Amino acid sequence: MIGALAIGVAAGIVAGLLGVGGGVLFVPGLVFFAGLGQHQAEATSLLAIVPVAIVGTYRQDRYGNVNHSDALLLGLLSVAGAAAGVALANALSGALLRDAFAALMLVVAAQLVRRTIRS
């Protein structure tokens, strides 16, 4: 329970501060600290992100930072992608999902480092 509280608070802060989905912290936190398998962690993260996204969006919208038309388009198109992604995830092993998640985080980190060096 304390681990879940810490994961939730940390993910909320990171999501609000950096605009990243709480899943960047939720998934590893749920795997390492809550003992969930990769499939369970990813599915749980999807539901847990809903209130984070609502609060973060509400607060950012008050600052005028939300592009509503882009958000609507991204959201609508993501529905089909999410359905396909869930089907694919359930066809893959937990180890492969974990490795794919780690690879994605490495690619994102590399892109951030590259952009930081350029600027």
Residue 34 has pLDDT above 70, yes or no: yes
User: Tens digits of per-residue pLDDT, 58-91?
Assistant: 999 999 999 999 999 999 999 999 999 999 999 9
Q: What mean pLDDT value characterizes the chain? A: 89
Nearest to 53 by CA among 36, 75, 34: 75
Domain ranges within the chain, ordered by starting residue: 2-118
Q: 3-state SS string over the chain?
A: CHHHHHHHHHHHHHHHHHCCCCHHHHHHHHHHCCCCCHHHHHHHHHHHHHHHHHHHHHHHHHCCCCCHHHHHHHHHHHHHHHHHHHHHHHHCCHHHHHHHHHHHHHHHHHHHHHHHHHC
Residue 32 has pLDDT above 80, yes or no: yes
Residue 21 has pLDDT above 70, yes or no: no
